[in-house]
Amino acid sequence: MKTTKVFFLLALLTSVCGCLKQQPEFEYKVAKGTADSLKIAQEVVELMKKLQNEHESVKQQEMEMIEGTYSGTLTVNSYYDYPESWNKSCSAILELKSGNFYCVQNKGGGSGIFTISNDKIIFNDTCVWSCDFDHSLILNGEYNFILDGHKLKIFVDKSHAYYEWDLEKK
């Protein structure tokens, strides 16, 4: 169907230009070239599908590797001269399972869904929160992470402070 449309458009264009009158073999070359181009395009589409499937497989393996319950420490280091209480650490527990997460800590935490993209972990928190604390303590958005065996480090550099979760799988 697409070959016919492409051929029709090329034939129309060339007939308007008068090319077919000067080169009778042009019609055959256009049809052959269109068929060859479509074959190449189909091969490219098949290759892209194969690569997408391989990417999904690797992504699934990453998700399975990171799944588990982790406990450890969240450390916040402010870039500004705030009182000592701003630079703080607290205990944190993070559960990652089947694309869902649940995090408990002194303030913040979160729960919702997560995905992995390259070297980033993306949390989408679905909780409703009050306004009386630093919302950067909520796992929501894009974070860097390092998974080393049973140790998981999640960290993000916000404009006002650096947040780091040092966790170990239970």
- Quick one: tokens of 142? 């894009």
d(CA 94, CA 168): 10
* Domain co-membership, 37 together with 118: no
- Distance between CA atoms of 108 and 137, rounded to whole angstroms? 5
Asked whether residue 73 falls in the same domain as residue 59, the answer is: no
Supply 90's token pair: 């607290």
51 has a pLDDT exceeding 90: no
Give the residue-averaged pLDDT of 93-119. Answer: 92
Cα angle 160-112-145, degrees, rounded to a multiple of 5:
50
Q: Which of 47, 64, 81 is the last residue of a domain?
A: 64
Task: For residues 104 and 162, state if they share a domain.
Answer: yes
**For 28-40, b where at least 16 C-beta lie within 10 A, e where not — what string?**
eebbeebeeeeee
pLDDT at 57 over 80: no
pLDDT value for 2: 47
Picking from 10, 30, 64, the residue at the C-terminal end of a domain is: 64
List the structure tokens of 35.
């068929």
Q: Are 122 and 79 in the same domain?
A: yes
- Do residue 56 and residue 71 come from a single domain? no
Q: What's residue 38's pLDDT? A: 78
Are 95 and 140 within one domain?
yes
Domain end, chosen from 14, 33, 64, is at 64
Range of the domain at 74: 67-169
Q: Residue 104 maps to which CATH number?
A: 2.40.160
Residues composing the chain: 170
Least confident piece of the model among 34-43, 86-95, 108-117, 135-144? 34-43
How many domains in the chain? 2
The residue that leads in pLDDT, 90 or 55, is 90
Residue 145 CA: distances (Å) to CA of 58, 62, 165 = 17, 12, 9
Helix (H, G, I), strand (E, B) or coil at 170: coil
Identity of residue 61? Q
- 58-72 pLDDT tens trace: 767 777 889 999 999
- Decide which of 20 and 160 is more confident: 160
Residues 42, 111 share a domain? no
Please check whether residues 34 and 117 belong to one and the same domain.
Answer: no
Average pLDDT, the chain: 80
Report, as an integer, the average pLDDT of 91-114: 93
CA distance 89 to 11: 72
| Residues 89, 53 share a domain | no
pTM of full prediction above 0.75 = no
- What phi, psi does 10 have (nearest 5°)? -65, -40
